[in-house]
Amino acid sequence: MTNFLQVAQTNIPSGFIDLGAGEPQLDLLPLDMLGEAASLRFAQGEREFLQYGVEQGDGYFRAALAKFLSPRYGCEVSHEDLFTTTGISSTLDLLCTLYTQPGDTVFVEEPTYFLALRIFADHGLRVISISTDVDGLDLDELSQALKEHQPKFVYVIPSFQNPSGHTLPPERRTRLIELAQKHNFLIIADEVYQFLGYTQSPPASFGTHIDSGHVIALGSFSKILAPGLRLGWLHSNPDVIQRIVTCGVLDSAGGLNPFTSSIVRGLIEKGDLDKNIANLVGELGRRMQAMDEAIKTHLPQVKYTSPHGGYFFWLQAPGVDTQELQKRAKEFQVGLRPGIRFSSRNGLTDHFRLSISHYGVDDIEEGILRLKKCIVV
């Protein structure tokens, strides 16, 4: 049957609280702010943003973005080092196209963002997963794996990781870069949650290390404005930028998303992106605290570390098969995501992921109460 609906997540039955869902709640998307920015752009009466764009992306948008990023990164970001993207997912796909061949090896974290694994599978890549702990990637295991494998890249989510919520500390970042230089692989840093710190800020973006020659940092407006914009950025050194802007897709299509980026440019210049992030940090911070307290009170048997930002809680219920738990939870009208979905080794079967992005505080508390009824450890 034809699906005429606009929104991807449509099958949550009414009354069901899907605490596994990672999409932002519709109420979090700034309709008025974007409406105003779009009206202003149209009122200017210029048609350039409706034309094919320059390959690297509109320079005015990149300049506004660089000005926004610089104080947050604690260093001068140049618009020359930024490339406008249609979000992280499609950029991962483009990077696989340009930097890998089927059969090449790439390293990922265990656990990792399961949909990135699908993209790597589309390119016929051989995925090797490296264990993580509460501080992210285990660099000793990575060093060991480098004795056997030559990865094209290591894909990491260094800040408030999906699903674990963990953040890679500065020392591990430095060591990862040293290893990339020594063993000649790229670090693809997916920083989609970089600006969503509630009780702690993460270390500076991997974008502050592009001079190493081995870093590609990916940002996205999906979690700080709206996923429907399909807009993001890539931050890297001139060699990488040059490789991308000269590829066939861009030669044919021109730069990505000139229309949306020129609307978002106005929004950034007005200071509304800062305002929106401050609103999100306030609201999501309250949700994170509520979920943390509810888990501590009602699910004392699960093990976890309280996250400091991002969307996710990563919980371990020792001895519980969380795929079975998911089925049982459905009967109690509550959803979760079983750990096995985030594993490239078919492991993590006693872990599960919960999210704060899709429901307000009341539903979060009610959802945890429902989980209490069905979780038996």
Ligand X SMILES: Cc1ncc(COP(=O)(O)O)c(C=O)c1O
Interface with ligand X (CB under 6 A): 22, 87-89, 113, 157, 162, 190, 192, 220, 222, 227, 232
| Tokens, residue 138 | 């285990």
Shortest distance, position 370 Cβ to ligand X, whole Å:
24
Shortest distance, position 244 Cβ to ligand X, whole Å:
16
Whichever of 109 and 272 has its CB closer to ligand X, that residue is 109
Helix crossing, 272-298 with 361-374: angle to 10°? 30
The end-to-end CA distance of the chain, in Å, is 42
Q: Which residues contact 251 (CB under 8 A, 6 or more apart)?
A: 55
Whichever of 232 and 266 has its CB closer to ligand X, that residue is 232
Measured CA to CA, the distance from residue 136 to residue 144 in angstroms comes to: 16
Measured CA to CA, the distance from residue 17 to residue 88 in angstroms comes to: 27
Shortest distance, position 232 Cβ to ligand X, whole Å:
5
Q: Which residues contact 220 (CB under 8 A, 6 or more apart)?
A: 85, 87, 88, 192, 231, 232, 233
Whichever of 222 and 344 has its CB closer to ligand X, that residue is 222
Whichever of 190 and 272 has its CB closer to ligand X, that residue is 190
Shortest distance, position 239 Cβ to ligand X, whole Å:
23
Shortest distance, position 144 Cβ to ligand X, whole Å:
25
Strand partners, 137: 132
Question: Are the C-beta atoms of 124 and 114 separated by less than 8 Å?
Answer: no
Whichever of 253 and 376 has its CB closer to ligand X, that residue is 253
DSSP SS3 for 338: strand
Whichever of 24 and 53 has its CB closer to ligand X, that residue is 24
Shortest distance, position 97 Cβ to ligand X, whole Å:
16
